[in-house]
Every structure is written in C-alpha cells, then in structure tokens.
C-alpha cells in the first residue's frame, strides 16, 4: 500500500501471512498514527492459530504440505461441515499437516481424515 511506504511500523503489519488466523496474546499501550486506520493502531503480539480440517485420506501424511481444496459437499447440517469448510482457509491455501487425528465418517462416503494444520 502506498500509504504505508514511509511508516515505521510497516514491517510489523506486513509480517503476517495472508489468510492465516492469529490469536492476540498481548496488546501494547502505545497508540500509533496510521494513514489507513483513522483511529490509529497498536502493536500486538500474536501467535499463529493451528487449524483443524479434513483432507482426502489418500496421500495425507504428517509433515506434508498440501494445497487446500474445498471438499464438495452441500450438507450444511452435517456435524463435520465446518471441518470440511473451515473458516480462514481458502481454496489454493498451502498448509502443513502437523497431525492426523483420525478417519472421518463422511455422510457421503468420502474417504477423509481429520488433520491439524500449522
């Protein structure tokens, strides 16, 4: 952003991964002027959230990096719908599988496993 070109905090703002979810663990007291946010900004300490989702069982391995593909399913009432369509992960997003937590019983019979992404 051109508004940020001269900002002393731009390195902090642009040091986050687009599409990733973060948890704020500390908010600093000092408020900084910002040309983008009219009320100003504060520096915060964040930790990247681990996310859960499902991937096809075939080829799923702990430690591997996968490109997220949406699981095609229209069963909005399914208990696993949010795992198949997690918030914060868009099609094409690359994520590392840190843990496979088990098989998922899919109402449509798809062979899926529940995973934790880094």
Greater confidence, 86 or 77?
A: 77
Same domain, residue pair 43 and 55: no
Q: Please give the tally of structural domains in the chain.
A: 2
pLDDT at 29: 94
Same domain, residue pair 13 and 62: no
Same domain, residue pair 62 and 113: yes
- Above pLDDT 90, what percent of the chain? 48
Same domain, residue pair 7 and 59: no
**Residues contacting residue 98 through CB under 8 Å, at least 6 positions apart:** 50, 62, 63, 115, 116, 117, 118
| Cβ neighbours around 71 below 10 Å, total | 19
Same domain, residue pair 59 and 10: no
pLDDT at 63: 94
**Residues contacting residue 26 through CB under 8 Å, at least 6 positions apart:** 44, 45
Q: Which domain holds residue 19?
A: 2-48
pLDDT at 13: 82
Same domain, residue pair 33 and 84: no
Give per-residue pLDDT as tens, 17-68.
776 788 999 999 999 999 999 899 999 999 988 888 999 999 899 999 998 8
Same domain, residue pair 38 and 57: no
pLDDT at 74: 84
Same domain, residue pair 87 and 113: yes
Same domain, residue pair 39 and 77: no
């Amino acid at each position: 952003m051109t508004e940020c070109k001269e900002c002393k905090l731009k390195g902090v703002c642009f040091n986050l991964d687009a599409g990733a979810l973060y948890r704020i663990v500390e908010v600093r007291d000092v408020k900084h002027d910002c040309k983008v946010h009219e009320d100003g900004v504060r520096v915060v300490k964040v930790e990247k959230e681990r996310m859960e989702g499902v991937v096809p069982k075939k080829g799923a391995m702990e430690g591997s990096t996968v490109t997220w593909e949406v699981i095609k399913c229209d069963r909005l009432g399914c208990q696993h719908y949010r795992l198949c369509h997690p918030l914060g992960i868009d099609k094409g997003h690359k994520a590392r599988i840190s843990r496979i937590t088990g098989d998922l019983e899919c109402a449509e019979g798809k062979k899926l496993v529940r995973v934790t992404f880094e």
